[in-house]
Structure 1
């Protein structure tokens, strides 16, 4: 949909969930409807919330709960060169019961960690 980043992000999120996607790649400019004069969309744009939830948190939560395993996701935060000043960040760790244990922000220096310990039988 031309210039409607929110609607396009929601549509992508629905497609990601429906496909139970493990890898998600979007064509350049697709979030803005391929409009050449559209403003750039930054990685921390709130209109991307639906995609972030579908690709990151919800999938990790589902895998943790469905498979009874701990899940850690990692995403680079900070400038990568080549004109990319910001990236997504937001790494996280979920317990085997699907509980979010730790989640980093999008800040380049933010780090999260959790201590894994074996339960007594």
Structure 2
């Protein structure tokens, strides 16, 4: 029998284009999260900056994050632009653990502005951790019913997404998470960008969360940079939790 899985959603600080500083911020939150899986927002490693260079999974600036994952025994699902075979970049999810980083998923459903720089990914994708299957998504993917259906068809336990919304749209990912959770009987973990970033996102919503298969949000972060929300996922007891299992961990200062 597979063990329960501790999942966290994190809202790191982000400096536009400063890959090294952002990787260090991710590493700090991995250490604080104390979770087997830590989900990060869309393009969290670089900021939502269309002119930022693509990230190479073997870049040595990822070393602090790899080391943090090794020490914590964590898998970090990180947002970053990556290079594509046709010369165009993709908005992607990197899976980072103590052995290194790899491209795990490329965003399939792009916003209109994103198509000027990025190409859509080819297919849904799953990462397996300790016998739990995590279907991956990035922002607009979560609002496309076909994406949820295609990803759920891969046999997932958790739908894990990195998203970015402005503060007035803070309720959007809550509505989408509930729809996906109850529609497919899966857990949903959404990490939402906090603070400010490029392309007009001056006040990102934050408010990351984790939803049980019945649609109830069992862990929630606030709007602040540095917040982490954490829950223990157990298919047998989706609502059972304790102060140790579910926590909101805001930063000491922002």
Task: Give the TM-score taking structure 2 as reference length.
Answer: 0.26
2: CA distance between counterparts of 1:89 and 1:113?
A: 15
Alignment of 1:43-54 (within 5 A): 43-44=166-167, 48=168, 51-53=169-171
Q: In the aligned structure 2, how far is the partner of 1:24 from the partner of 1:88? A: 19
CA distance in 1, matches of 2:170, 2:200: 22
**Deviation, structure 1 residue 93:** 0.6
How big is each residue's C-alpha offset from its partner over 1:45-96, in whole Å with a ceiling of 9 and x where there is no partner?
Answer: xxx2xx432x211111011011100011111112447986532211111001
Does 2:178 match 1:64? no
Runs (5+) with no aligned partner, structure 2: 1-107, 114-165, 238-254
Q: Cα RMSD over matched residues?
A: 3.0
* Cα-to-partner distance string for 1:10-48 (whole Å, 9 max, x where unaligned): xxxxxxxxxxxx968487xxxxxxxxxxxxxxx43xxx2
Secondary structure at the aligned position of 2:195 is classed as coil
Structure 1 119/106 Cα, relative in aligned 2: closer, same or farther at 3 Å? Answer: same
More helix by share: 1
1:73 aligned onto 2:190:
yes
Tell me which of 236, 245, 254 is aligned to 1:119.
236
Decide which structure has greater strand share: 2
Q: State the alpha-carbon separation in 1 of the partners of residues 220 and 112 from structure 2.
A: 24
The alignment status of 1:104 with 2:233, answered yes or no, reads no
Looking at structure 2, the residues matched to 90 and 78 of structure 1 have their Cα atoms a distance apart, in angstroms, of: 11
Contact 2:192–2:207 under 8 Å retained in 1: yes
How far, CA to CA, are the matches of 1:82 and 1:61 in structure 2?
28
Cα distance change of structure 1 residues 95 and 118 upon mapping to structure 2, 3 Å threshold: closer
Q: Which aligned segments of 4 or more residues in structure 1 are displaced greater than 3 angstroms?
A: 22-27, 79-86
Residue-pair matches, total: 78
